[in-house]
Amino acid sequence: MEEPKVYSLSEISRHTSNKDCWVLIKGKVYDVTDFLEEHPGGEAALLEASAKGDATEDFEYVGHTIKAIRMMSKYCIGFLEGCDASQDTGISGTVKEENEWASLAAKSKHGKKPLVSMNLFEYLLAIFIFVVAFVAWYNLNKASS
């Protein structure tokens, strides 16, 4: 099997243009030149992250989906020297889920709470208030007839 290529930081820092763009994420080096135009987060985000030296923080801050993580292997060209190539870079643990229906249902696009959101205690309290109100209404009705 072919040995993974190992690059120094100074070598990686020579590839920061839109004609030749590498990004370093969690010790892995990605040649994203062909992906610049397709990147849903825009070309500028990748170029800026590339110029920064280590794009890990920016990449994680965005919170890429599993779909994006799967795409990455296609662009991986090697490792930063000193990084253990056999080690799991752990990127998958830092991303948001691909299927975001559950979280979208829980909060709106702007991070606001949904209009109706109750926990068990609130449910029981609502039922209790309803029962008390019903009993009071029933007793009042009975007394007046």
Size of the site for ligand HEM (CB under 6 A): 20
Residues 6+ apart with CB under 8 A from 24: 9, 12, 30, 53, 54, 55, 56, 80
Residue closer to ligand HEM, measured from CB, 12 or 49: 49
Q: Which residue is nearest to ligand HEM (CB)?
A: 41
DSSP string, 114-143: PS----HHHHHHHHHHHHHHHHHHHHHHHH
Q: Is 29 exposed, middle or buried (0-12, 13-18, 19+ CB in 10 A)?
A: buried
Q: Which stretch binds ligand HEM (CB under 6 A): 2-10, 38-46, 85-93, 126-134?
A: 38-46
Residue 103: φ, ψ to 5°: -75, -30
Q: Which stretch binds ligand HEM (CB under 6 A): 11-19, 65-73, 100-108, 135-143?
A: 65-73
The yes or no reply on residue 39 touching ligand HEM (CB under 6 A) is: yes
- Interface ranges with ligand HEM (CB under 6 A): 23, 30, 32, 39-41, 45-46, 49, 55, 58-59, 62, 64-65, 67-68, 71-72, 75
